[in-house]
A and B are shown apart, each in its own frame.
Chain A
């Protein structure tokens, strides 16, 4: 009697329950543990922060232009009166309503007479007739 090696099949999945158990265990081993938190940026988002710069570059330029204009106007208002006082003495508004009566004013040289006041910065021959016309009470740069 010869010995016959009996071929034994390797163990296999006998039922669907075995397969289901295998699959459940497999997927459980694959899923991350612990379950990770969402990978999003920090709580403070760019949309929550105040905007540091205007969105349109043209807005920046126009604002700078306005600021420069206002600054120039302000400087001009400071500098211009001083230039007027250097160049000419302030003249009373003759014949204007509310002005002083000429008769009580100290005698003045006639308009066409040459001024002898050495402090008068005007050139010889320059008189009030050559001064620019001015509105009553209105300085030129305020027109």
Chain B
């Protein structure tokens, strides 16, 4: 005997709970892939839109978190292909023109410059390094949470994190990036 589908309100409530729990990590993984906040947001929203449609179809999802992360990764890769078609080998950021805006305080300008350099350095790093750094410092995930998400053990997390930090520090030094102003 098949169970009755849940009412619309219950489905909506379940969806909102899943969004609250997992939207940030979906965003973080998409950001680690593209180092672009807007792109990461689009990918995250699309992933949850697909989740909503899946829930509407009444097909059960055994592990929504794993489903979301898999969809987000696939969307991020699809975005890579479409971006290559649109922009060639240039990353999307270089295609943006200079935006006219009110002059910022000096400290803000220095901060933005530091962040721009940091982003540029991270774009040169491997996807795995960016991913583990994003999970640790964007989401403040502990070792156990990162291990569960990446399906590796805690020792591997410590090792990868340590090496990623070391590589980043070396590249920043080579680029002359100092402390925060």
A10 surroundings in chain B (CB, below 8 A): 176, 178
Cβ 8 A contact of A22, one of B15, B24, B136, B179: B179
A-B contact pairs, 28 of them (CB 8 A): A12-B178, A13-B177, A14-B179, A16-B169, A18-B179, A18-B180, A19-B168, A19-B172, A21-B180, A22-B118, A23-B137, A23-B168, A24-B137, A25-B115, A26-B119, A27-B134, A28-B138, A31-B27, A31-B37, A32-B27, A32-B37, A35-B23, A36-B45, A38-B49, A38-B52, A40-B49, A40-B52, A45-B56
Whole-angstrom distance from the CB of B29 to the nearest CB of chain A?
Answer: 13
Which residues B156-181 have CB closer than 8 A to chain A? 165, 168-169, 172-173, 176-180
**Does A48 make an interface contact (CB < 8 A)?**
yes
**Does B8 make an interface contact (CB < 8 A)?**
yes
Q: Are B169 and A19 in contact (CB under 8 A)?
A: yes
Query: When chains A and B are docked, how far (Å) is the Cα of A110 from the Cα of B165?
Result: 125
**Does A29 make an interface contact (CB < 8 A)?**
yes
Q: Are A43 and B176 in contact (CB under 8 A)?
A: no
With A11-B178, A45-B56 known to touch, is A40 a contact of B118 (CB < 8 Å)?
no
Q: Are B118 and A26 in contact (CB under 8 A)?
A: yes
Q: Are B176 and A27 in contact (CB under 8 A)?
A: no
- Complex A-B, nearest 7 residue pairs according to Cβ-Cβ distance, in ascending order: A27-B138, A23-B137, A11-B178, A39-B45, A40-B52, A30-B37, A38-B19
Whole-angstrom distance from the CB of A19 to the nearest CB of chain B?
Answer: 6
Please report whether the interface of chain B is mostly helix, strand, loop or mixed according to DSSP. Answer: helix
Query: When chains A and B are docked, how far (Å) is the Cα of A79 from the Cα of B95?
Result: 81
Q: Are B48 and A38 in contact (CB under 8 A)?
A: yes
B72 surroundings in chain A (CB, below 8 A): none
Which residues B104-143 have CB closer than 8 A to chain A? 114-115, 118-119, 133-134, 136-138
Query: When chains A and B are docked, how far (Å) is the Cα of A35 from the Cα of B20?
Result: 10
Chain B's closest residue to A11 (CB) is B178
Contact with A along B1-37 (1 / 0, CB 8 A): 0000000100010011001000110010001000001
**Does B41 make an interface contact (CB < 8 A)?**
yes
Whole-angstrom distance from the CB of B136 to the nearest CB of chain A?
Answer: 8
Query: When chains A and B are docked, how far (Å) is the Cα of A106 from the Cα of B136?
Result: 117
Which residues A74-128 have CB closer than 8 A to chain B? none
Contact with B along A30-67 (1 / 0, CB 8 A): 11100110111101010110000000000000000000
Query: When chains A and B are docked, how far (Å) is the Cα of A52 from the Cα of B119?
Result: 53
With A22-B118, A26-B118 known to touch, is A38 a contact of B16 (CB < 8 Å)?
yes
Q: Are B8 and A45 in contact (CB under 8 A)?
A: yes
B119 surroundings in chain A (CB, below 8 A): 26
Whole-angstrom distance from the CB of A75 to the nearest CB of chain B?
Answer: 46
